[in-house]
Amino acid sequence: MAPLVQRLREREGVAVRVCVTAQHRSMLDDALRIFDITPDYDLDIMTPGQTLSGITGAVLRSIDPVLEDFRPDWVLVQGDTTTTMAAALAAFHRRIAVGHVEAGLRTGDLDNPWPEEANRRIATIVSARHYCPTDRARQNLLKEGVDPGRILVTGNTVIDALHMTAARIGADRALQETMAQRFDWLDPDRRLILVTGHRRESFGEGFQQICRALARLAERGDIQIVYPVHLNPNVRGPVFDILSESLAIRLIEPLDYVSFLWLMQRAYFILTDSGGVQEEGPALGKPALVMRETTERPEGVEAGTSRLVGTNADQIVAECAALLDDADRYRTMSTTRNPFGDGTAALQIAEDLAG
């Protein structure tokens, strides 16, 4: 949302307030610092072992006084998190118009991704404006009966943020040197595979399979795997149990956005179950192998920038090996146009709201 906050603040007659839930405090604070955003409201809802119902209830209770205090004309939410769903519902309860950024993504399966598929559908029901990243997302909403006059295809603000940050890295020699020193353990003679994995529907056997696949890949000898490990204990448990002894795998703490982008720029390809990374990697010319059974971003699969590889260890290893060993396949995936926008989404949304 950072590019949209910036664009709205540039417009006369628009008062902008930023509200955060702080579900993951350290990760949030890094992002706020990078984009120079100071929240006007910090709900600080994080508690040990929080459940989805607990998060939902905490957001609903905590955000209602914010809406009473500020009385906005619009509440803007992005994506498919539990925060998005609960904040949209709280605004709807107060008859405040909701603008849903990154609207219209669908898999058609409530279990994959879980609970995000339900979250985004609920947000759709209560939203007054739907800002879609692609025309396919628009078509999804039209099939559900959403008024076409309330839908605008803008691309995704994720790509705006990516371009902003990449430009900053490219123009800042001192920052480049800082990043090089921070990751001076990278081996320039081995191709880098960057991994992200945190999906709830993969907890248990799914993560066991993913970790076994990474362990087998590390035995090749010609690659280096870097895995910033999510803070959720359901992720950290199997990851550290299975992978901590492998010399070709570097398990590190979650990264701030600048550092993660710097690593993405240096990766050969990205192995991920993240939604946003399916857009960010290909925007940098990095193929994305998606460790999920379904994706709400089929545009990337159809364009050829990403490929579904599931959570089966054999399949993950085979797909990674094909990309590592087949230069033509790699060239095709890395040079295909990214279908998720051109970096002007925030400007289009700001103009629509202000108009």
Catalytic residue flag (residue 182):
no
Per the DSSP assignment, residues forming a β-bridge with 307 are 289
Catalytic annotation, pick one of 230, 250, 297, 307: 230
To the nearest 10°, the Cα dihedral for 256, 257, 258, 262?
Answer: 100
Give the C-alpha separation, 3 to 158, whole Å: 8
Catalytic residue flag (residue 200):
yes
Catalytic annotation, pick one of 200, 216, 236, 329: 200
**Structure tokens belonging to residue 183:** 């990751």
Catalytic residue flag (residue 24):
no
Catalytic residue flag (residue 102):
yes
Give the C-alpha separation, 101 to 98, whole Å: 10
Find tokens 């809406």 and name the residue: 67
Catalytic annotation, pick one of 130, 136, 138, 198: 198
Catalytic annotation, pick one of 30, 102, 117, 279: 102
> CB–CB of 104/141 below 8 Å?
yes
In sign, the C-alpha dihedral spanning 136, 158, 86, 148 is: negative
Catalytic residue flag (residue 230):
yes
Considering only CA atoms, which of 151, 114, 111, 110 is closest in space to residue 133?
151
Give the C-alpha separation, 270 to 288, whole Å: 5
Catalytic residue flag (residue 219):
no
How many other C-beta atoms can be found within 10 angstroms of the C-beta atom of residue 53? 9
Catalytic annotation, pick one of 30, 80, 117, 280: 80
Catalytic annotation, pick one of 30, 116, 279, 299: 116
Please tell me the chain's helix, strand, coil percentages from 3-state DSSP, rounded to the nearest 5.
Answer: 50, 15, 35
Q: Which residues are catalytic?
A: 80, 102, 116, 198, 200, 230
